[in-house]
Structure 1
């Protein structure tokens, strides 16, 4: 067994994960217009099953939650069956897989919703690049503020998504509260300008996430539930002056729920809102007792150091794992990586640029593999 901290087993829920490498959730858009997971998606995840834990691409909990062309869903029986074909294959490949539950909120467009405006915490437009819709690139719109009935319905949608994830054979779920999507829009004081019990104070801005957590924890044991946060992130027009106090409080409250893991995008590879000093993984270590996953811009050396220093338990990798499906093998054996600087085919299409990257075993032949394994 390797001496690297990355390749030591770790306990999560009732599972012993074979290493501490996590496949980060990445939005890929391969499910097609029907949003049903398919064979090439299964191929993609099986190819990356060398990791201890797989977090799926962001998966919409309902039609209202949509905001990305051809991304998968989890609200119909066909989607459940499609995902089950993926989880069955991943389990045979000896890895564990959780479903990331997603609602885009204002990071969407009326083209996804039959002309209805997307929902958000408040009527605050996302300022940023245009959005790709089923009808082409469009400007973002001013979203519709969610009514109390909208909020109740959406919480129920999260709960039903958790029920469907369990039926599809997932080992757990991750609630997506990062990257400027709906839950993050409630947490952020710039996108949330409500004057009711869901806005204003940190406690009120956390309320929506708290209700979502209470709902999904009725379905999965707390140990099999994770949450993703992006305290430093600027993606989708996020970032407010009280971010440190907000995310400190959020982490403390999630810790009280004894959830299985907290997935923190502490790295700055997606940009930084520059409203103070970045929050570090070590800060969250002091706030959260469960498994702590770092993410965003890590390589092998920085990941090993973070785990060795005790700041985190696992590290999630994204972009290098796209073009290197056997990334754990390459890291463990110091094999050179394929370049991962051309995103032109990453976010939509078919197998090309998705599940067609070569693994080192296929390139090297038996003799070289045996030499590396000595």
Structure 2
């Protein structure tokens, strides 16, 4: 039986253990979404993980609405990522870039553009700007050309990721962002080939996956799903998303891995549903304890487990996990997560 600390191969990506760093938005890039020097140290500190999934990274300007989050759509950004991936590789780690388009969850103050989505809808919650959270604004339905251009932007971002030294990419298809908005009947009211039927609502996702795998190879491509998006509001029902049909398509494409955030209380166990129909490598995530993570892998309920917020306060997370050493408790204060300093990022303040 495999263990959490055994090697694993995702497509062509050979990893030394099955402990995965989940994507964590940390907001240390410039206002132009260019990675900064401090990010080199941050990612290198976490190279003990078998696989690092980068923080969500914008594929284009209209789709990146999180202040100080990184992008990978231009040459300057690509060059700034290179020292980061190099530092991870020098310490024996592997890293993939999570490709992101936020859709209607952006604000013009950040992007300089009106938010785009599958249809004319408005996110009822609050979104981030450089001056704090504000009410969401109406999103405009994407034209057919804008849909096609976005597919090309995902492809180009994947190509840029490989040029920047990443071992592969993960397509962000969850948490109420753009791809999720096309999948959901609640946010997709289109009358063309991208709306209405299940086949049509799946088309955008399938075109993105096809474009990315054709460009860089299915063996360097992963995807992320989730049954919940409480951060963005629960406007998408779990049962509405056709995970079985999506899994059949991903099996045909033979992509490297599927990563998913597990169910929240009161929802069906998504891992079991995906495991029954998806044949590739499965990474799961949802505030797992050490004991549960070990059990999930040993029982083959999943191939690997990713960990997120607790890794913020434990740069030696994998070592502690292996030795069953007490973890430094995480703090939820925004200044440690998103405020742009080294404190709470590359070093953690001592417990009071």
* TM-score bin, normalised by smaller chain: over 0.9
Choose the corresponding residue for 2:178, options 153, 178, 182.
182
Structure 2 vs 1, CA of residues 245 and 59 (structure 1 numbering), >3 Å: closer, same or farther? closer
User: Is residue 2:220 matched to residue 1:224?
Assistant: yes
What are the residue-to-residue correspondences of 1:179-328 with 2, within 5 Å? 179-241=175-237, 243=239, 246-268=242-264, 277-328=267-318
CA contact (8 A) 1:106 1:181 kept: yes
Q: Tell me by how many angstroms 1:214 deviates.
A: 1.3
The question of whether the paired residues in 1 share the 8 Å contact of 2:337 and 2:344 is answered with: yes
Aligned residues: 349
Distance 1:169 1:252 in 2: 30
Q: Among 8, 11, 14, which residue is 1:10 paired with?
A: 8
TM-score by length of 1: 0.89
Q: Is the 8 A contact 1:282 1:312 kept in 2?
A: no
Contact 1:101 1:158 (C-alpha < 8 Å) held by counterparts: yes
The residue aligned with 2:17 is 19
**1:79–1:241 distance in 2 versus 1, CA, 3 Å:** closer
Distance in 2, Cα, partners of 1:133 & 1:148: 28
Measure the CA separation in 2 of the matches of 1:257 and 1:35: 31
Bigger Cα displacement from structure 2, 98-107 vs 345-354 = 345-354
1:256 deviation in Å? Answer: 1.5
Give me the whole-angstrom Cα distance separating, in 2, the residues matched to 1:168 and 1:263.
22
Residue 131 (structure 1) aligned with residue 127 (structure 2): yes
**Residues 29 and 155 (structure 1 numbering): CA distance in 2 closer, same or farther, change over 3 Å?**
same
Distance in 2 separating the partners of 1:85 and 1:306 = 34
Distance across 2 between alignment mates of 1:68 and 1:241: 25
1:171 pairs with 2:167: yes
Q: Which has the larger radius of gyration?
A: 1
SS at match of 1:292: strand
Consecutive unaligned residues of structure 2, counting only runs of 5 or more, are none
Superimposed CA distance per residue, residues 271-297 of structure 1 (whole angstroms, 9 cap, x where no aligned partner): x6x6xx323312211111111000121
Contact 1:8 1:19 (C-alpha < 8 Å) held by counterparts: yes
**1:346 is the counterpart of 2:327:** no
Is 2:117 aligned against 1:120?
Answer: yes
Paired position in structure 1 for 2:79: 81
1:35 corresponds to:
33
Conserved in 2, the CA contact under 8 Å of 1:231 and 1:279?
no
Q: Secondary structure at the match of 2:4?
A: helix
2:345 and 2:240 map into 1 onto residues whose CA distance is: 36
Q: Is the 8 A contact 1:37 1:82 kept in 2?
A: yes
Q: Partner residue of 1:160?
A: 156
Tell me what 2:91 maps to: 93
The answer (yes or no) to whether the contact 2:227–2:238 under 8 Å persists in 1 is: no
CA contact (8 A) 2:53 2:95 kept: yes
Aligned equivalents of 2:105, 2:237: Cα separation in 1:
21
Q: Secondary structure at the match of 2:214?
A: coil
Please report the RMSD computed on the Cα atoms of aligned residues, expressed in angstroms.
Answer: 1.8
Structure-2 separation of matches of 1:172 and 1:146? 28
Distance in 1, Cα, partners of 2:192 & 2:69: 33
Name the CA distance, whole Å, in 2 between partners of 1:4 and 1:354: 32
Query: What are structure 1's unaligned runs of at least 5 residues?
Result: 360-374
After TM superposition, the structure 1 = structure 2 runs for residues 326-365 of structure 1, keeping only pairs within 5 Å, are 326-344=316-334, 345-357=336-348
After TM superposition, give the deviation of residue 233 of structure 1 in Å: 3.3
Quote how far apart the aligned CAs of 1:72 are: 0.4
Distance 1:218 1:4, change over 3 A: closer
After TM superposition, give the deviation of residue 254 of structure 1 in Å: 1.6
* Residues 226, 263 of structure 2: 8 Å contact kept: no
SS in structure 2 at match of 1:153:
helix
